[in-house]
Amino acid sequence: MARKKIDISQAVMAADLGYAQKIRDMLKERGILMVNLIGSPGSGKTTLLERTLAGLDLKCAVIEGDVATDRDALRIRATGTPSVQINTNGGCHLEANWIDSTLEKLPLDGLDLIFIENVGNLVCPAEFDLGEDYKVAISSLPEGSDKPLKYPLLFSEAGAVVLTKVDLKPYIDFDEVLYWDDVTRLNPHGRRLRVSSVTGEGMQFWLKLLYDWCDAKKQAAKGE
Ligand SMILES: Nc1nc2c(ncn2[C@@H]2O[C@H](COP(=O)(O)OP(=O)(O)OP(=O)(O)O)[C@@H](O)[C@H]2O)c(=O)[nH]1
Ligand SMILES: [Mg+2]
């Protein structure tokens, strides 16, 4: 029997864009900001979130994406913030239809800000629209200063690039001038921040950016 190969990837992507638009419409109506954190495994996403949630005077919730375990959701819940874990069971990124069904499990009333911590990966998560307002690239000093040009999609589309673990600078050979030059070339309009979740360096600028983004989202909702 002759076999015919059918490419369903286009259809799957198109269906997911429908979910992303549904999420975007719902969040716009409610004035809730959604920020999608994307970075390598161990780049410091959950630690940055823990520190952020302790410093932000906003009502937040977190959707955690990991291949396996609910460890990150447990860390977030320990801060007193509602968090739901999605396990991708091998998948390397989150998709909008999963975010859509997960939002039903979060207390949306009165919420200001939803963070998504995507699966640790610099490649695939950048390709998927989750209905977020901003993707934020999280890259850490120990990963090396050559990463922006090697993984250009994420760095070019991010609303902000956050360089984490800057407290390790004295111990690591990292060309910060090259790093920021490359980021700026890829993404001239994105915000650029350097933070340490250990010392707190740079955290005030990150928190200020989140407040500004939240204010803008609420203003847009009022202007509807
Ligand atoms: N020195 C230093 N270590 C950090 C900093 N932020 C995180 N770490 C450490 O980096 C390691 C990984 O941090 P996580 O926050 O779990 O990283 P993650 O990006 O959430 O990792 P995955 O969820 O597995 O992708 C932990 O040992 C943290 O303590 C920082 O600013 N400075
Ligand atoms: Mg994590």
* pLDDT tens digits along 49-96: 999 999 999 999 999 999 999 999 999 999 999 999 999 999 999 999
For 171, phi then psi, to 5°, come to -105, -5
Name the pLDDT band for 7 (thresholds 50, 70, 90): low
CATH number at residue 36: 3.40.50.300
The residue whose C-alpha atom lies closest to atom 6 belonging to ligand 1 is 44
Query: Is 204 within the bounds of a domain?
Result: yes
Query: Is 3 within the bounds of a domain?
Result: no
Is the confidence at residue 1, as pLDDT, over 70? Answer: no
Q: Verify whether ligand 1 is closer than 6 Å to residue 164 (CB atom).
A: yes
Tell which wins on pLDDT, 12 or 93.
93
**Model pTM?**
0.95
Q: Verify whether ligand 1 is closer than 6 Å to residue 168 (CB atom).
A: yes
Predicted local confidence at residue 8, as pLDDT: 57
Predicted local confidence at residue 164, as pLDDT: 98
Name the pLDDT band for 17 (thresholds 50, 70, 90): confident
Query: Is 27 within the bounds of a domain?
Result: no
Query: Is 45 within the bounds of a domain?
Result: yes
Is the confidence at residue 34, as pLDDT, over 60? Answer: yes
Query: Is 167 within the bounds of a domain?
Result: yes
**Residue 122 Cα to ligand 1 middle (Å):** 15
Start-to-end C-alpha separation, the chain: 57
Q: Give the total number of structural domains in the chain.
A: 1
Q: In what order do the strands lie in the sheet with 160-164?
A: 83-87, 60-66, 113-117, 33-39, 134-140, 160-164, 191-194
Q: Are strands 83-87 and 33-39 parallel, antiparallel or unpaired?
A: unpaired
Query: Is 18 within the bounds of a domain?
Result: no
Predicted local confidence at residue 116, as pLDDT: 98
DSSP 8-state assignment for residue 81: -
* pLDDT tens digits along 165-175: 999 999 999 99
* Residue from 47, 63, 169 to probe ligand 1 pocket by mutation (most atoms less than 8 Å from CB): 47
Query: Is 54 within the bounds of a domain?
Result: yes
Query: Is 149 within the bounds of a domain?
Result: yes
Distance CA 44, CA 36 (A): 14
For a pLDDT cut of 70, what percent of the chain falls above it?
Answer: 94
- Cα angle: 217, vertex 97, 25; to 5 degrees: 30
What is the position in ligand 1's atom list of the atom closest to the CA of 75?
Answer: 16
What stretches of the chain adopt beta strand conformation (E)? 33-39, 60-66, 83-87, 113-117, 134-140, 160-164, 191-194
Predicted local confidence at residue 6, as pLDDT: 57
**Lowest-confidence region among 4-18, 118-132, 183-197:** 4-18
Mean pLDDT score, 119-134: 97
The residue segments making up the domain with residue 162 are 32-219
